[in-house]
Amino acid sequence: MQILCLPDKFKGTLTSAEAAAAMTTGFHRVDSSIQVDCHTMADGGEGTADALAAIWESRAGPGSVKWTESEVVGPHGSGQPVAARWAQLHRPQNTSQKVAELLAEYEFPIAMIELASAAGLHLVADPNRDANPIHTTTFGVGELIQHAIQAGCSTILVGLGGSCTCDGGAGLIQALGANITPVLKGKLLSGGQLRSIEQVGLSPAISALQGCSIIGLCDVTNPLLGPTGSAHTYAPQKGANDDEVRLLEDGLTHWANLVASATESSVNTQERGMGAAGGVGYCLSACLGGSLISGIGFILDLLPFEERAKHTDLICTGEGCIDTQSRYGKVVHGITQRAQAMGKDTLVLVGSIAEADGEFTGLGIQPDEACFMQIATIADLPNVKNVDEAKKNASKLLSHLAERELRRYLSRT
């Protein structure tokens, strides 16, 4: 039997690689001869650079990935720098035709930057620090882009997941040299300051790219504005109250109007992914002429998923919690969609399901009647008393869950 194991991280407990190892342990308790093909997964959020680098090295060999650590401004601005790690990817020599076609449009070397490394929610997790997106900035992300350009990279991939910001990418653009009126006298732009901007000049920022192409890897499909936009959907999770959400929405609307005037073009704020990372998706597209693609889609294409899955009997994925966000560009949704399209049986092993409205609505996928799909949770295992206990013993419990669900699956087939 062959199993393709592609879990996301179980946030706060297990990395993608650790989750895959735990699942493999459970599968081998059922039958030690089972062949398990594991790969680190991510969707544009934390862990994307590691996932991409692992796949890249498997294709291009040792030395094809160079890691760099850069000190940049953190989400709280000047005086609180962070050490952000990013990767340079060099052209692989031996790839399948599909991967070669995928990479044909990219110039090398490629920089892989995670926005979360400079403006991530995990950087403001200390309750003694102000995590509110009214005050946080993407300035450090712009500095990372500058570092990549100075290192000679021709294509810049920016993973857009895990942000603590809602500044529409204004801080990022400011770091690249955009002219902001009125001049802020050393202050860095944050979500709460967008409404006070009167004019923006983008030419210096565009020139700073030096012809580099920039691509955002999205882990969500939300638009910039409106009830499903960046402020209304994600700002509350980052610490904003109702009044602050309205302030941020108003600021993003004003920012979009300023950018439209500066570029003399009208990028549709309602397009998919524009609301990623507090509006950085919109910034990359409208301000810098970049493109937005699905993070999990890109990684699965690079794998490539269809080749790996073709001779597989069962595909297994998972994450810490399935919720309403899982259906908008996340790892589990992307893998399950592709598995179902190929008619492949699928196991989804998760910590918990946040929604109580049916087994499959958490993913927004109606399973194909011709193939098997099952979502199972650690929370439903016997003797799991609470979330804290589950997190403390996540690896052990995930192994038990994998073993139980594989036995159940085999009893059906």
> pLDDT band for position 60 (50/70/90)?
confident
Q: What is the pLDDT of residue 358?
A: 46
Three-state secondary-structure class, residue 57? helix
Task: Tell me the two tokens of residue 209.
Answer: 């790219």
Which domain CATH number covers 23? 3.40.50.10350
> Does 82 map to a domain?
yes
> Does 366 score more than 80 pLDDT?
no
> Does 256 map to a domain?
yes
Q: What is the model's pTM?
A: 0.92
Q: Are residues 335 and 186 in the same domain?
A: no
Q: Are residues 288 and 405 in the same domain?
A: no
Q: Are residues 132 and 273 in the same domain?
A: yes
> Does 318 score more than 50 pLDDT?
yes
Three-state secondary-structure class, residue 50? helix
> pLDDT band for position 357 (50/70/90)?
very low
257 burial via Cβ count (<10 Å: 0-12, 13-18, 19+): exposed
Q: Are residues 63 and 185 in the same domain?
A: yes
Helices (H), 91-138: 97-103, 116-119
> Does 305 map to a domain?
no
* 127 or 342, higher pLDDT: 342
Q: Are residues 281 and 337 in the same domain?
A: no
> Does 200 map to a domain?
yes
Q: What is the pLDDT of residue 126?
A: 57
d(CA 355, CA 352): 9
Q: Are residues 227 and 110 in the same domain?
A: yes
Using one digit for the tens of pLDDT, what is the confidence trace for 166-195? 999 999 999 999 999 997 767 899 999 999
Q: Are residues 345 and 384 in the same domain?
A: yes
Q: Are residues 89 and 228 in the same domain?
A: yes
Q: Where among 249, 268, 296 does a domain terminate?
A: 296
Q: Where among 296, 328, 360 does a domain terminate?
A: 296
> Does 104 map to a domain?
yes
Residue range(s) defining the domain that contains residue 10 = 2-39+310-412
> pLDDT band for position 365 (50/70/90)?
low
Q: Which residues contact 97 (CB under 8 A, 6 or more apart)?
A: none
Closest CA to 276 of 219, 315, 236, 323: 219
Q: What is the pLDDT of residue 405?
A: 97
> Does 302 map to a domain?
no
Q: What is the pLDDT of residue 359?
A: 44
> Does 304 map to a domain?
no
State mean pLDDT over 149-175. Answer: 97
Which domain CATH number covers 55? 3.90.1510.10
Residue with tokens 């202050």: 187
State mean pLDDT over 283-307. Answer: 95
d(CA 164, CA 191): 10
> Does 327 score more than 90 pLDDT?
no
> pLDDT band for position 18 (50/70/90)?
very high
Q: Are residues 29 and 65 in the same domain?
A: no
> pLDDT band for position 347 (50/70/90)?
very high
Share of residues in the chain with pLDDT > 70 (%): 93
Share of residues in the chain with pLDDT > 90 (%): 74
Closest CA to 95 of 79, 106, 83: 106
Q: Are 9 and 47 in contact (CB under 8 A)?
A: yes
Looking at 161-165, 169-173, 232-236, 365-369, which range is the least confident one?
365-369
Q: Are residues 101 and 232 in the same domain?
A: yes
Q: Where among 268, 296, 324 does a domain terminate?
A: 296
> Does 72 score more than 90 pLDDT?
yes
> Does 166 map to a domain?
yes
The per-residue pLDDT of the chain, averaged, comes to 91
Task: Tell me the two tokens of residue 139.
Answer: 């300035």
Using one digit for the tens of pLDDT, what is the confidence trace for 378-400? 988 998 888 888 889 999 999 99
> pLDDT band for position 34 (50/70/90)?
very high
Cis peptide before 236 (omega within 30 of 0): no
> pLDDT band for position 127 (50/70/90)?
very low
Total of domains in the chain: 2
Q: Are residues 291 and 322 in the same domain?
A: no
d(CA 25, CA 48): 24
Q: Are residues 121 and 81 in the same domain?
A: yes
Looking at 176-185, 273-282, 290-299, 304-313, which range is the least confident one?
176-185
